[in-house]
Amino acid sequence: MSMVGTAGWLVPVAGLVGAVLGGVLSPWVGARFARHTAKRQAFDKAIAAVRTVQVARHYASNVPAGLLGGLDQGSADEFNIELRKTGVQRFIEATYEAKVALAALEPYGNLFRDGDGWEITESEADALLARLKRAR
């Protein structure tokens, strides 16, 4: 009978210990998981933004008049001028978005110093992508 009495208190105490540990550790584990997820998402966004800069750098230009549905050469030239303007504008916007995404990584360390100019060169983009993927 003494064995039943001894085991009788063990289950409630074990339950209480489990509840206390769960109550203490749960917020910590949740916060750690949320921070890890936020970091991963910030790095993924920065990687995509830098890759977008690489893609935006190589926009279409000098499209032949024959591919433009039979436009005359003058109209094709005007089309290509607008196409270049749009391409450069997209590249500038992509560069800005990449720099914003890189700035958002500041809470995770000073990994990405902003260059001197507005542009992210191809070699800088390659180096950034390698560092971002390693740090992610």
Give the tens place of pLDDT for each residue, 115-131. 668 889 999 999 999 99
User: Tokens 């977008």 — which residue?
Assistant: 52
Does residue 82 belong to any structural domain of this protein? yes
CA distance 128 to 120: 9
What domain range includes position 80?
Answer: 40-135
Does residue 79 belong to any structural domain of this protein? yes
pTM for this prediction: 0.73
Is residue 25 pLDDT above 80, yes or no? no
Token pair listed for 20 = 């206390």
**Confidence (pLDDT) at 11:** 72
Does residue 14 belong to any structural domain of this protein? no
Does residue 10 belong to any structural domain of this protein? no
CA distance 22 to 28: 10
Give the single-character DSSP code of 106: G
Q: Identify whether the C-beta of residue 60 lies closer than 8 Å to the C-beta of residue 85.
A: no
Q: Identify whether the C-beta of residue 129 lies closer than 8 Å to the C-beta of residue 50.
A: yes
Is residue 110 pLDDT above 70, yes or no? yes
Token pair listed for 118 = 């507005």
Mean pLDDT of 54-83: 89
Q: Based on the structure, what is the number of domains in the chain?
A: 1
Does residue 116 belong to any structural domain of this protein? yes
**Confidence (pLDDT) at 14:** 75
Does residue 12 belong to any structural domain of this protein? no
